[in-house]
């Protein structure tokens, strides 16, 4: 009975799952969360991350000049995004991690390791704009809550099937289901994540161009990253949540002409 109840609830959730308009593509997409819930969820993730960093003694926004720069750049890029009304906020976390991340709803965290002379990713402001535009694109595409929505049904189905296997004392079936679940998360879920990264690269390229940042900086950054990881094979990314650097670079090359048109048109408008 418990298994039937779980499966019934899953079906109802699947049918009732909200169909939302994608602000970036204009197409219908499945997202169980409202935009306001994106903001609330992101605020919760942000608060927990900052609390954890402070508990470890990591400085937050301790470099006023760098923090002000990040805020100005995020405001400039988000204002030309598809969801400029979101409460964007950027925080500088001063630990030597080469990363930046965006929580749903517009909370962006940038780690100081991005500028590390040896291991960092960015070398100048234009490349930093590419990173920030990529994160703002994730927010606008609502990748986090779309991914959570996609995983609701399979996760609940696996749970229901596992309960059934245990109730029937089918240890062999439970083991098989566990393996299938790991395979699902290792290939199917990460495949979607890699697609999201490629979309964020493409959308971010246009955002930075609209904001007046040279989109060629994004290609320069990923070309350098690909050369520094010369053994990076696209086939190696099958179990990775991020595409190989060269895959990202080639995708950006195909999008560059359109982005350059936008960027150069903006220069002409500002000088005329």
Residues 6 or more apart from 248 whose CB is under 8 A from it?
197, 198, 201, 222
pLDDT value for 237: 41
Alpha-carbon distance of 220 to 228, in angstroms, equals 12
In the predicted model, what is the mean pLDDT of residues 7-12?
45
223 pLDDT above the threshold of 90 = yes
The answer to whether the CB of 33 falls within 8 A of the CB of 148 is yes
Mean pLDDT over 241-245 rounds to 70
The radius of gyration computed from the CA coordinates of the chain, to the nearest angstrom, equals 21
Residues 6+ apart with CB under 8 A from 51: none
Question: Cα separation of 217 and 205, whole Å?
Answer: 9
- Asked whether 69 and 91 are in contact (CB, 8 A), the reply is no
Q: Are strands 107-111 and 100-103 parallel, antiparallel or unpaired?
A: antiparallel
Q: Angle at CA 129, nearest 5°, toward 128 and 132?
A: 90
pTM for the structure as a whole:
0.78
User: Which pLDDT band, with edges at 50, 70 and 90, does 227 fall under?
Assistant: confident
**Do 197 and 248 meet the contact criterion of CB atoms below 8 Å apart?**
yes
The number of folded domains in the chain is: 1
Q: What is the pLDDT of residue 158?
A: 46
pLDDT tens sequence across 80-120? 999 999 999 999 999 998 989 998 999 999 999 999 888 89
**Per-residue pLDDT reduced to its tens digit, 129-177:** 999 999 999 999 998 888 878 765 555 544 554 554 455 555 554 444 4
Q: State the pLDDT at residue 245.
A: 83
List the domain range (segments joined by +) for residue 144: 2-271
Residue 169's pLDDT is: 52
Per-residue pLDDT tens over the stretch 22-81: 899 888 888 888 899 999 988 998 998 899 999 999 999 999 999 999 999 999 999 999
């Amino acid at each position: 009975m418990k298994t039937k109840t779980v499966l019934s609830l899953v079906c109802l959730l699947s049918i009732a799952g909200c169909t939302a308009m994608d602000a970036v593509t204009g197409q219908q997409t499945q997202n169980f969360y409202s935009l306001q819930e994106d903001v609330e969820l992101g605020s919760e993730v942000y608060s927990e991350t900052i609390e954890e960093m402070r508990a470890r003694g990591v400085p937050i926004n301790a470099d006023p000049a760098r923090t002000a720069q990040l805020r100005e750049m995020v405001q400039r890029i988000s204002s030309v995004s598809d969801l400029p009304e979101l409460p964007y906020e950027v925080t500088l976390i001063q630990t030597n991690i080469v990363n930046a991340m965006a929580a749903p709803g517009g909370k962006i965290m940038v780690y100081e390791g991005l500028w590390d002379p040896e291991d960092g990713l960015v070398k100048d402001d234009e490349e930093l704009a590419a990173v920030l535009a990529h994160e703002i694109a994730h927010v606008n595409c609502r990748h986090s809550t779309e991914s959570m929505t996609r995983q609701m049904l399979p996760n609940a189905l696996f749970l229901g099937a596992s309960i059934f296997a245990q109730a029937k004392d089918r240890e062999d079936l439970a083991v098989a289901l566990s393996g299938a679940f790991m395979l699902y998360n290792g290939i199917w879920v990460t495949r979607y994540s890699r697609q999201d990264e490629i979309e964020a690269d493409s959308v971010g390229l246009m955002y930075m161009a609209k904001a007046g940042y040279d989109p060629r900086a994004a290609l320069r950054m990923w070309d350098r990253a690909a050369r520094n990881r010369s053994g990076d094979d696209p086939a190696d990314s099958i179990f990775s949540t991020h595409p190989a650097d060269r895959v990202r670079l080639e995708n950006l090359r195909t999008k560059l002409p359109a982005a350059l048109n936008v960027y150069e048109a903006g220069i002409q408008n500002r000088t005329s």
